[in-house]
Amino acid sequence: MPLPRAPGVARVRDARRLCIGASLLVLMLLASACANVPQTTVLPKTEAAREIQYLYVWIFWLAVIVFVGVQGALLYIMRRYQYREGQPLPEQVHGNTVLEIGWTIMPAVILVLMAVPTIRSIFLLETVPVASADGGTPMIVEVVGKQWWWEYHYPEYGIVTANEMVLPVGRTVILNLTSDNVIHSFWVPQLMGKMDVVPTHVNQIWFTPEEAGQYFGQCAEYCGIQHAQMRMNVVAMTPSDFQGWVTRQASPVPPPAGADPDTAALVAMGAEQFALNGCVGCHTVQAAVREEGKIGPNLSHVGSRTTIAAGILPNTHENMKHWLEDPQAIKPGNMMPNLHLRPQDVDALVAYLHSLK
């Protein structure tokens, strides 16, 4: 018959397990913090995003104080009133007016400390500025949520593009958000908070890019089978670079041309296939030879974009080729069908689309 274990041994074993579990949890948290996450909210790059981050930090430390206070009181009570051999039970009392008033007032105070800065931030972010941070007027960008990609209209410049929003540093931007299908949610964490994109209704959100760079985001409202692949990125440029981008985007697409006769011939063949295969029925390309389509993304200057397929693939020759060969294999359920193109037609179309810069 095995000897019974001493109570002290069991407590030591339980404490050891608790320490090991806590250590593993800390290591997991540290490992996750070391990850390169481009959609982080803790590295804000605009005043609007910083306002949200400040609010998050304030509420986080309030939660830490509550956690430490509650758990500290629990541990103290467990230790102070634990059962000891030969010690009588503590005196049983019914009700304690001071404690009951205290634990009623304290949560109310904590809620007020959370509510006041929250309401302040809400009013601040919902007040659309009438002047830009650079002293001029804000730039309006009309955002339309599609299934499953984004369309951007720049009324000031007469530009329409898709998935990749280009903005100047230092100028306040106002986004007018709407959808032509279901509800989406527009969110680029480092630049702004999320905002619902609703059919037949326009929501507004604003921010001022402060640093040149590329900022990633995606739809944050479930909208169908490819919700997770409805991504976007914002490219912030210096004012001079942005003006150059505007000039290129507003200019007609030049005739297909290449660096050498063979490439030029392949690009010309791609332009012909773009018309023959019905691509112009869905996609707009400036100077297209037939009626322009508006079902799919605007492909004018698509060769200058960094990604394709709503931000899920880098805009490389191989990725564009795979997309044209079978778009449903890459993004099932999207609006672009498999056209069963011949390999030579795919190569020609890739050359043509990458020439549109």
Q: What is the pLDDT of residues 176-222, one digit of tens each?
A: 999 999 999 999 999 999 999 999 999 999 999 999 999 999 999 99
Write down the pLDDT at residue 180: 92
CATH of the domain at 268: 2.60.40.420
Q: Look up tokens 């050498």; give the residue.
A: 260
Side chain identity, residue 204:
Q
What DSSP assignment string belongs to 176-194?
Answer: EEEESSS-EEE--TTT---
In this structure, the answer to whether residues 133 and 225 fall within a common structural domain is: yes
Last residue of a domain, one of 250, 272, 290: 250
- Tokens, residue 151: 């369309």
In this structure, the answer to whether residues 221 and 277 fall within a common structural domain is: no
Does some domain include residue 230? Answer: yes
Does some domain include residue 157? Answer: yes
In this structure, the answer to whether residues 131 and 159 fall within a common structural domain is: yes
Last residue of a domain, one of 219, 250, 281: 250
In this structure, the answer to whether residues 240 and 270 fall within a common structural domain is: no
Domain count, the chain: 2
State the Cα–Cα distance between residues 260 and 355, nearest whole angstrom.
Answer: 13
Does some domain include residue 2? Answer: no
In this structure, the answer to whether residues 219 and 270 fall within a common structural domain is: no
Write down the pLDDT at residue 97: 86
Side chain identity, residue 201:
H
Helices (H) and strands (E) in the chain, counts: 8, 12
In this structure, the answer to whether residues 240 and 347 fall within a common structural domain is: no
In this structure, the answer to whether residues 232 and 330 fall within a common structural domain is: no
State the Cα–Cα distance between residues 30 and 126, nearest whole angstrom.
Answer: 35
Last residue of a domain, one of 227, 250, 273: 250
- Tokens, residue 14: 């339980």
Write down the pLDDT at residue 257: 53
In this structure, the answer to whether residues 208 and 63 fall within a common structural domain is: yes
In this structure, the answer to whether residues 217 and 266 fall within a common structural domain is: no
Range of the domain at 349: 261-355
Helices 317-325 & 343-355, crossing angle to 10 degrees? 130
Residues of the chain with pLDDT under 50: 35, 289-291
In this structure, the answer to whether residues 208 and 291 fall within a common structural domain is: no
In this structure, the answer to whether residues 108 and 144 fall within a common structural domain is: yes
Does some domain include residue 86? Answer: no
Return all residues near 46 (Cβ < 8 A) that are at least 6 apart: 190, 191, 192, 207, 208, 209, 210
- What's this model's pTM, rounded to 2 decimal places? 0.80
Does some domain include residue 183? Answer: yes
Does some domain include residue 33? Answer: no
- Tokens, residue 356: 């549109």
The answer to whether 269 and 242 are in contact (CB under 8 A) is no
Does some domain include residue 8? Answer: no
In this structure, the answer to whether residues 321 and 190 fall within a common structural domain is: no
Does some domain include residue 196? Answer: yes
- Terminal CA-to-CA distance of the chain, rounded, Å? 85
pLDDT digits (tens, 9 = 90+) for 125-180: 999 999 888 889 999 999 999 999 999 999 999 999 999 999 999 999 999 999 99
